[in-house]
């Protein structure tokens, strides 16, 4: 529209020149040309009226932190919003800030944010990284308690963020079960884990997609135990993206394991491509645990879908309040670049903050469910998936999971899979009688299925050498299904007719 307005102004300026109105041998302007000029002026007035007061595009202007008055006014208003929660740490004179919608103050990198006597705790904390981006730091308590502005949950069902001693010791055992992890670390400390989540300008993994917000969560030692500290790096000017990437690389120093959600298919390729384009020295940890395949493997039958927000709500019992969908993040970042209004990113910051915290809670939930399924797993399909994981290395635990699944599951589809897999597991370890018992149970529960009858027929024919019982089982299958069992019936009748 601005180019159109400039063209109209040039046309009117040319029309106003004397040589444009009258030339040698030509008459005065006709009525039709005057009508064109009138219409041009009318269109120009309409454009000016429409875009009067429209904010002009912000192109590499002064960094936002230098606009002290406007920024302080915005943060002062935001600090008055409700939802701030405090928790005692080490002594009544120190409080650590829970996540909220207010953002102000400064903090020392990689250290918990403490306020003496609880004063000044009016928000989370901001810090500038080489004038190229902002770092927002948040320290959670031991549990994912999303109260007030961020979310809500039942007080007795808080998802644990910080691991206990048993979880920390058995984490390497859980990681060894994932063959996709390269260079699986041993003797891993919780402080060596980095939880990473990104917000990007699109879903494409091409060169035009930018990770404008990168959240990194690390466990830090504070009086009273481990706490999850989340740092969020924001690219507030595209020309300074490389400085933000270098700050992320510094935040990942010492990390031996990176935990993401769909990071193998999206976050990691984006970060690697941005580091390559900007010639940054960003090096991600070699060991990478992607929780999305684990979530699909364990929980896909008990949740509506395997998105992170769905797992929060249906698995961890966390309900977000007024959460901005991740699909709206690119538009919010575009508004920020066009207008310079940093409060356009507050919704994205909160969304990314809870995503990173949920990664920690989900990691311990998955690890506990796999390592101690009889205590933590509460779904038949989840127990069936865990039994398949342990079937090669810990057969007794796998069979215990299958028995527990038959006790708590009432789904016919789940019970079919559990009985079939359990019978095959017992047969492979040489327990023919146990396999026969499960196939008999299968045939009783699902008499219309021929799979159980055929399996029993094979058992009677090849294991017990009871050809009469094998023939009866085969005929039961043929009664329910018009399958091609003629060859088996013929062979069994011939064996019965042959004297032994």
Q: Which residues, in sequence order, are bridge partners of residue 198?
A: 214
Q: What is the rounded CA–CA span in Å between residue 274 and residue 297?
A: 31
Cα–Cα distance list, 469 to 25, 350, 435, 462 (Å): 118, 66, 16, 11
Phi-psi label, residue 314: left if phi above 0, alpha if psi -120 to 50, beta otherwise: alpha
**84-101 pLDDT tens trace:** 232 222 232 232 333 333
**293-323 pLDDT tens trace:** 999 999 998 888 999 999 998 888 888 888 8
Q: Which strands, in side-by-side order, build the sheet including 91-97?
A: 86-89, 91-97, 114-116
What's residue 238's pLDDT? Answer: 87
The residue with tokens 């038959």 is 406
What's residue 98's pLDDT? Answer: 35
Taking alpha carbons only, the member of 313, 341, 346 closest to residue 329 is 346
Taking alpha carbons only, the member of 463, 464, 457 closest to residue 478 is 457
Exposure b/e, 84-113, CB count within 10 A at least 16 = b: bbebebeeeebbbbbbbbbbbbebeeeebb
Q: What is the rounded CA–CA span in Å between residue 149 and residue 351?
A: 12
**Maximum distance among all Cα pairs of the chain, rounded to whole angstroms:** 128
What's residue 382's pLDDT? Answer: 94
**107-132 pLDDT tens trace:** 333 232 222 222 222 233 333 333 34
Classify residue 463 as exposed, middle or buried by CB count within 10 Å of its CB (0-12, 13-18, 19+).
middle
Whether the pTM exceeds 0.85: the reply is: no
Q: Tell which wins on pLDDT, 26 or 350.
A: 350
Q: Which residues, in sequence order, are bridge partners of residue 259?
A: 195, 289
**149-173 pLDDT tens trace:** 333 333 334 466 777 767 777 888 8
Structure tokens, 359: 């990664």
Domains and CATH numbers, the chain: 2-20+31-50 (no CATH), 85-371 (3.30.420.10), 373-497 (1.25.40.10)
Compute the CA torsion angle 77, 78, 79, 83 (nearest 10 deg).
130
Average pLDDT over residues 348-365: 91
> In 409-485, which residue ranges form alpha helices assigned H by DSSP?
412-428, 432-445, 450-462, 467-480
Structure tokens, 378: 């509460």
């Amino acid at each position: 529209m601005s180019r159109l307005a400039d063209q109209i102004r040039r046309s009117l300026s040319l029309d106003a020149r004397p040589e444009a109105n009258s030339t040698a041998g030509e008459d005065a302007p006709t009525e039709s040309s005057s009508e064109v000029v009138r219409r041009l002026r009318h269109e120009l007035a309409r454009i000016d009226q429409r875009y009067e007061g429209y904010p002009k595009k912000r192109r590499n202007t002064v960094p936002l932190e230098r606009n002290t008055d406007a920024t302080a006014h915005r943060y002062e208003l935001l600090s008055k919003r409700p939802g701030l929660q405090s928790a005692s740490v080490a002594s009544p004179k120190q409080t650590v800030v829970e996540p909220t919608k207010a953002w102000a103050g400064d903090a020392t990198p990689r250290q918990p944010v403490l306020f003496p006597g609880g004063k000044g705790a009016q928000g989370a904390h901001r810090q500038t990284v080489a004038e190229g981006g902002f770092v927002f730091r948040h320290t959670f308590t031991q549990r994912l308690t999303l109260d007030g502005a961020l979310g809500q949950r039942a007080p007795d069902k808080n998802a644990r963020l910080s691991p206990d001693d048993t979880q920390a010791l058995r984490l390497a055992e859980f990681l060894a079960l994932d063959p996709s992890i390269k260079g699986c670390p041993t003797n891993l400390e919780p402080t060596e884990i980095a939880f990473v989540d990104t917000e990007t300008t699109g879903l494409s993994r091409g060169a035009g997609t930018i990770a404008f917000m990168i959240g990194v969560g690390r466990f830090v030692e504070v009086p009273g135990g481990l706490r999850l500290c989340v740092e969020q790096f924001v690219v507030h000017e595209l020309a300074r993206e490389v400085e933000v990437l270098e700050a992320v690389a510094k935040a990942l120093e010492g990390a031996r394991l990176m935990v993401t959600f769909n990071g193998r298919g999206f976050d990691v390729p984006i970060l690697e491509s941005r580091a390559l384009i900007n010639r940054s020295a960003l090096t991600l940890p070699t060991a990478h645990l992607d929780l999305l395949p684990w979530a699909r493997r364990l929980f896909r039958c008990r949740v509506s879908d395997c998105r992170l927000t769905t797992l929060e709500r249906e698995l961890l019992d966390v309900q977000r309040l007024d959460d901005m969908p991740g699909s709206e993040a690119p538009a919010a970042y575009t508004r920020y670049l066009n207008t310079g209004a940093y409060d356009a990113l507050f919704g994205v910051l909160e969304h990314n903050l809870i995503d990173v915290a949920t990664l920690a809670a989900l990691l311990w939930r998955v690890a506990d469910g796999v390592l101690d399924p009889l205590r933590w797993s509460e779904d038949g399909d989840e127990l069936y998936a865990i039994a398949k994981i342990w079937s090669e290395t810990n057969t007794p635990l796998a069979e215990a999971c299958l028995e527990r699944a038959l006790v708590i599951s009432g789904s016919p589809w789940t019970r079919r899979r559990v009985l079939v897999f359990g019978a095959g597991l017992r047969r492979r370890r040489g327990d023919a009688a146990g396999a026969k018992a499960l196939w008999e149970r299968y045939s009783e529960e699902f008499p219309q299925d021929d799979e159980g009858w055929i399996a029993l027929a094979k058992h009677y024919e090849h294991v017990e050498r009871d050809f009469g019982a094998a023939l009866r089982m085969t005929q039961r299958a043929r009664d329910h299904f018009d399958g091609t069992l003629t060859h088996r019936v013929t062979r069994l009748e011939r064996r019965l007719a042959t004297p032994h």
